[in-house]
Amino acid sequence: SQQGEEDPQALSIQEGENATMNCSYKTSINNLQWYRQNSGRGLVHLILIRSNEREKHSGRLRVTLDTSKKSSSLLITASRAADTASYFCATGQIDMRFGAGTRLTVKP
């Protein structure tokens, strides 16, 4: 079963713009991860943020976590056409649960 909701469900932007995706979850967590999936293929791990962290950066990615609101956001700065993919947040220990995902389209 899904862990929570992501919004927006779909996002379309121009190359060079920033993209922000949000994720809400239901249970208490030890960490939250973000994954990317291109065209229904395998998922690629992007970033992990622990429950005691509020913000984390990796290249053009910035993730925030608000455990009081049970929510996280993923910001991709200066987007590229190659960033077109579905993005999922995931929580859980052994039994990882994914959010519904955001389908991002970056137009060249």
Partner 1 sequence: DTEVTQTPKHLVMGMTNKKSLKCEQHMGHRAMYWYKQKAKKPPELMFVYSYEKLSINESVPSRFSPECPNSSLLNLHLHALQPEDSALYLCASSQVAGWRETQYFGPGTRLLVL
Q: Would you tell me which residues interact with partner 1 (CB under 8 A)?
A: 1-2, 30-31, 33, 35, 40-45, 48, 88, 92-101, 103
Smallest gap from Cβ 16 to partner 1, in A, equals: 27
Tokens 């993919």, residue? 85
Residue 33 or residue 79: which is nearer to partner 1 going by CB? 33
Cα–Cα distance, 105 to 79 (Å, whole number): 10
Smallest gap from Cβ 94 to partner 1, in A, equals: 4
Smallest gap from Cβ 107 to partner 1, in A, equals: 20
The tokens describing 51, both together, are 């429950």
Could you tell me whether strands 102-107 and 31-37 are parallel, antiparallel, or unpaired per DSSP bridges? unpaired
* DSSP letters spanning 53-91: -SEEEETTEEEEEETTTTEEEEEE-S--GGG-EEEEEEE
Residue 64 or residue 92: which is nearer to partner 1 going by CB? 92
Smallest gap from Cβ 12 to partner 1, in A, equals: 16
Residue 46 or residue 76: which is nearer to partner 1 going by CB? 46
> What single-letter amino acid sits at 69?
K
